Structure 1
Amino acid sequence: MKNKDFKAFTTGETLKKIRISKKYTQKFVTEGIIGQSTYSKIERGEVEPTYSKFMSLLKRLDVSPEEFNYLSKDEKIDTREQIVHDFFLLNYNDSSDLKNIQTRILTYLEKNNDYVLQDVAYICEALILINEKRDYEQAIIYANKVWRRLEQFDRWFLMEIRLINTILFIFPIETAISISERIVSILEEYQSRESTVLLNNIQINLALQLIRNKEYEIAISHLNKSIVRLKEKQNYYLLSFAYIRKGIALDLIGETHAHTYIEKGLTLTKTFDEPKLYEGFLIEIEFYTKKSWPQ
């Protein structure tokens, strides 16, 4: 539940709420960053801080940009961002969840224009078509509606990358690989938690695309990088994907120790108590290796 004491609608109001809650003086918050008189005007909403000053103030207040954004939201923004948040947590193989999100989006769009939510609605439709009808021909029509907007951008930021990641598998393999490699090069420049999560997801999915394209050594190279990061962060869920796909790639180039990675991945998956995920892995392994598991 949101703390009503923090419900604010301007940068200055939110900064003031945070400062007062921590019992900090304006002098403490502004020292070495900005003039106190200028800061007073910011809190009163008379001026806006520059980006660099704003970031320095947040650092002094020990508040991240994400937390500040959360604290400054109004109800309308909360509704929109909650939909986006819920969408990226979905199991995209579950059509009922996708339809629920799609309904929420369409209700929101009746009163608001929003490019991102319109993209998400198209993505939901594409995924539903694949889940229920295996209709990739129609699904790519909706995926292309999203792609036509995003391909015009000079640079993709994290939101665009997250959207693209959900539809990559719908595109022809060469296109998907090209886009994924471009995304990986962008994300490797970032140092944030969110970018690392995205990088791991996309690199693991890219590895599967490379396997489909018989580029096994390149797939293994990407997976090795992901495995190091995932073990460091103890992200065992994604690590199971990385192990299994590395095992598949190793099997396809004739490496005898391939089974050890597949078995590691399946063993990890059992700990998650997600039988559908386990079954999905068995299908994926058999499809690519032409071998039944467990052996």
Structure 2
Amino acid sequence: MSYQPIPIGSTLKKIRENKGYTQKQISDEKMARSTYTKFEKDAISPTLPKYLAIIDHMDMSHDEFMYILQDYRLGEKEYILHLFKKLEKHPTLELLNDIIEKGEALVKDRYDQLVLDILNASRGYKVLLEEHDLEKAKGYAEKVWERMATLDNWYLAELHVINSILYLFDSETAVAFTERALKILYKYEKCDEAIPLRHSFLLHVTNLLMMDKKYEQALVYLRLLDNSNVMLECPILWGVTLIRKEVCMTKIGDLSEPGLINKAIQLFECLNQPDLARYAKENPETVYNLYARFPISHIKALAV
């Protein structure tokens, strides 16, 4: 498909007029008013510095402007990313099927490496949840890691993908990657997107550590999660944190905080999550546990 430039001028004009700004106020000292007038008429396209200056004077972020430009909808790729990030809070087969369907439709139309990575990560996740075939799932995850391993740095998009394939690695390697991810995410501490991603990394690595019976090490990461921010931002993940914390403490003989699993069950019931509440009652270690159906010896044999 050939590239078609998006005419942004009429959208700029509509927003400016709705906000009651003049062309002179928007152009300010960054550009001549005559230049800005040409932008609104789509006679010329703004350079990146000028574009950023314009939307700043419009009191608007790039994401909001793009959302408005697309008639208050996310673009195809943005919507796939939106769905993929939702997996970190509550993975379901329905959500995975939606991601895979929309991702396959997009890559038929055009090449997009990130969407291809998301497709493989989602297919691996689906295999774990639906077929419980760890070896097959790792086959998909390895395709993703082949590219991620070549990158000098990871940004938010790459971190979301790496988080989703953390099960590919042994617990020691997963800890190293999690520590690296946490350092990167610290740079994004004022970015709302980074908060649930940090929580999800910590839960994934504790899953691996617990399956490896490294309960004290898992508790170190679980205590990073046991706070009011997690409770407010990601209540389901907070419930999982409470469950894993009590499981780990019980395993090492620490009975100083009884009742955490019961609190999680009550939370799941309030959130209308009967399946999670049932799993927590019947077998707490299966809640959000990718490896619940696999013996640890098999997991280690397949670890990268």
Corresponding position of 1:80? 77
Specify which structure has the bigger relative contact order, considering alpha-carbon pairs within 8 angstroms and separated by 6 or more residues: 2
1:189-245: CA deviation from partner (whole Å, max 9, x where unpaired): 112111112112222222333333444344333333323352574542322122222
Report the AA paired with residue 23 of structure 1: G
What TM-score, normalized by structure 2, do the two folds share? 0.78
1:154 to 139, 152, 155: 152
Residues in 1 aligned to 2:21 and 2:9: alpha-carbon distance in whole angstroms: 15
Taking a change above 3 Å as real, the CA distance of residues 211 and 10 of structure 1, as seen in their structure-2 partners, is: farther
Taking a change above 3 Å as real, the CA distance of residues 280 and 287 of structure 1, as seen in their structure-2 partners, is: closer
Corresponding position of 2:170? 172
Shift of 1:122: 1.5
Report the AA paired with residue 278 of structure 2: E
Q: Is residue 210 of structure 2 the alignment partner of residue 211 of structure 1?
A: yes
Aligned residue for 1:63, secondary structure, equals coil
Identity level (%)? 29
1:127 to 122, 125, 137: 125
Residues in 2 aligned to 1:215 and 1:182: alpha-carbon distance in whole angstroms: 20
Taking a change above 3 Å as real, the CA distance of residues 65 and 98 of structure 1, as seen in their structure-2 partners, is: same
Do 1:9 and 1:73's aligned partners in 2 also have CA atoms closer than 8 Å? no
Taking a change above 3 Å as real, the CA distance of residues 44 and 193 of structure 1, as seen in their structure-2 partners, is: same
1:66 to 60, 63, 66: 63
Corresponding position of 2:36? 39
Corresponding position of 1:3? none
Aligned residue for 2:255, secondary structure, equals coil
Corresponding position of 1:118? 116
Aligned residue for 2:226, secondary structure, equals helix
Shift of 1:105: 2.5
Report the AA paired with residue 136 of structure 1: L
1:22 to 19, 22, 45: 19
Shift of 1:271: 0.6
1:189 to 166, 187, 190: 187
Unaligned runs of 5+ in 2: 288-304
Q: Is residue 199 of structure 2 the alignment partner of residue 236 of structure 1?
A: no
Aligned residues: 279
Aligned residue for 1:256, secondary structure, equals coil
Residues in 1 aligned to 2:227 and 2:52: alpha-carbon distance in whole angstroms: 31
What TM-score, normalized by structure 1, do the two folds share? 0.80
Do 1:42 and 1:49's aligned partners in 2 also have CA atoms closer than 8 Å? no
Do 1:136 and 1:170's aligned partners in 2 also have CA atoms closer than 8 Å? no
Shift of 1:16: 3.0
Aligned-residue CA RMSD (Å):
3.0
Residues in 1 aligned to 2:91 and 2:231: alpha-carbon distance in whole angstroms: 27
Do 1:9 and 1:74's aligned partners in 2 also have CA atoms closer than 8 Å? no
Taking a change above 3 Å as real, the CA distance of residues 27 and 224 of structure 1, as seen in their structure-2 partners, is: farther
Shift of 1:76: 11
Residues in 1 aligned to 2:264 and 2:206: alpha-carbon distance in whole angstroms: 15
1:247-277: CA deviation from partner (whole Å, max 9, x where unpaired): 2222222111242322222221111111122
Moved more, 114-123 or 169-178: 169-178
Residues in 2 aligned to 1:81 and 1:247: alpha-carbon distance in whole angstroms: 38
1:119-144: CA deviation from partner (whole Å, max 9, x where unpaired): 22212321232233322112111111
Taking a change above 3 Å as real, the CA distance of residues 234 and 104 of structure 1, as seen in their structure-2 partners, is: closer
Aligned residue for 2:64, secondary structure, equals helix
1:144 to 142, 145, 166: 142
Corresponding position of 1:104? 102
